[in-house]
Amino acid sequence: MLQDQTILRIPGPSPIPPSVQRAMNQSMIGHRGKETSDMLKKIAPGLKKVFGTTQEVAIIAGSGTAGLETAVVNVVKPGEEVLVVVTGAFGDRFTKICEAFNIKVHVLNVEWGKALNPEEIKAFLAGHPEIKVVFSTYCETSTGVLNPIDKLALAVQEVSDALIVVDGVSCVAGVETKMDEWGIDVMVTGSQKAFMLPAGLTFVAASEKAWKVIEENDQPRFYLSLKKYRDNLLKDTTPFTPALSLLFGLEQVLSLLEAEGLNNVYSRHALMKDMTRAAFKALGIPLLTSDEDASPTVTAVQPEDFDAEEFRKILKKEFAISIAGGQQHLTGKIFRIGHMGYCSPADQLQIISAIEVALKKLGKNIELGKGTAAAQQVYLAQ
């Protein structure tokens, strides 16, 4: 194993393209100067395209969780009632944020590993007309589930005027996102996943419907005031000191996405998902999610006859490959493989081949090459 080599296949942070690293190494510029304004002007259209919106996309220096908190404090008042659809650990984070701001939270728990059911949410809202906001995750990182937020939005709109707020941190820029067309009111994502950047930026966009609520909301907020970000973006600037190095990188990321074409980006992620799932099926190792519910950015595997944590240790020791473990009650019971952002089918073939060796070293009786061959067949059949 090379001392300086780390092969990152966790569901974030994800690997960074060399051209993006070079962009982030540029010398500092004045954050109130023309150069920064010109950069923000160039960045804005690309971000809107990724989000599928005509609205301004706020760029906030902070983690994805800062984006989730931004959504909460801008669209909900203390004492109001909201519904949080929990399909895993990060859906539950919305619950914790809302409770911290004295918001009355109704929780609809979904079995981990399964996607939300829009009809269940519709029925719940019909019985709770006082709910002002519905919170959900798009990709639930902890389980590898991609929730059908387009269908969720339709279901909500049939029975309620509630706003729809979506955590897209672990999938936006890796899966199709049509915020305006689907009727999503607030979409949040972060820089360290499919956006191929280090952690440190969160992006938040709000619909016209949401803006009416935001502008009438007297909930105290300062740094996380979306109105400040929108008003400053309209003048090609930021309300507070921006993370300039990350903005340099973001400009290059958007250039890479444009060059590849967003539809091709989404197809690449779907292909890597299919290759990875085919490999584990061929090896006889169960997956946590169904094919229908599976995310194109992360795959969760639930072994029955070997230790997930010991398996992860072998991959790290032998090949410097980092994959993620389970969270909360799934700790030690699953492992998760990230395939998002700066990741290709070639990378997945490398990972799958190494996984087979690690399984052999762990003592599992498998046929070497069987998983790799299954992934190769998926690739050839595209």
Residue linked to tokens 């030690």: 332
In this prediction, residue 178 carries a pLDDT of: 98
pLDDT reading at 179 higher than 90: yes
Contact between 298 and 264 under an 8 Å Cβ cutoff? The reply is no
Q: Report the distance separating Cα 117 and Cα 141, nearest Å.
A: 18
Bridge-based pairing state of the strands 81-86 and 321-322:
unpaired
In this prediction, residue 305 carries a pLDDT of: 94
In this prediction, residue 359 carries a pLDDT of: 98
Helix or strand (DSSP H, E) at 189: strand 186-190
pLDDT tens column, 248-299:
999 999 999 999 999 999 999 999 999 999 999 999 999 999 999 999 999 9
In this prediction, residue 228 carries a pLDDT of: 98
Domains of the chain: 7-14+261-381 (3.90.1150.10), 19-259 (3.40.640.10)
Pick from 352, 343, 344, 335: nearest CA to 13: 343
pLDDT tens column, 13-51:
999 999 999 999 999 999 999 999 999 999 999 999 999
Residue linked to tokens 């890597």: 272
pLDDT reading at 113 higher than 90: yes
| Band of pLDDT at residue 2, cut at 50, 70 and 90 | confident
**Mean of pLDDT values over 68-97:** 95
- The pTM of the whole model exceeds 0.75: yes
pLDDT tens column, 333-374:
999 999 999 999 999 999 999 999 999 999 999 999 999 999
CB atoms within 10 A of CB 136: 28
User: Which sign does the torsion angle of CA 290, 295, 296, 297 carry?
Assistant: negative
Q: Report the distance separating Cα 350 and Cα 341, nearest Å.
A: 16
Contact between 221 and 73 under an 8 Å Cβ cutoff? The reply is yes
| Band of pLDDT at residue 123, cut at 50, 70 and 90 | very high
pLDDT tens column, 158-172:
999 999 999 999 999
Dump strand ranges (E) for 248-376.
Answer: 298-301, 321-322, 324-325, 335-338
In this prediction, residue 338 carries a pLDDT of: 98
Peptide bond into 148 cis (omega under 30): no
Query: Which of 1 and 61 is assigned the larger pLDDT?
Result: 61
In this prediction, residue 4 carries a pLDDT of: 85
pLDDT reading at 69 higher than 80: yes
In this prediction, residue 3 carries a pLDDT of: 80
Pick from 328, 321, 313, 378: nearest CA to 353: 321
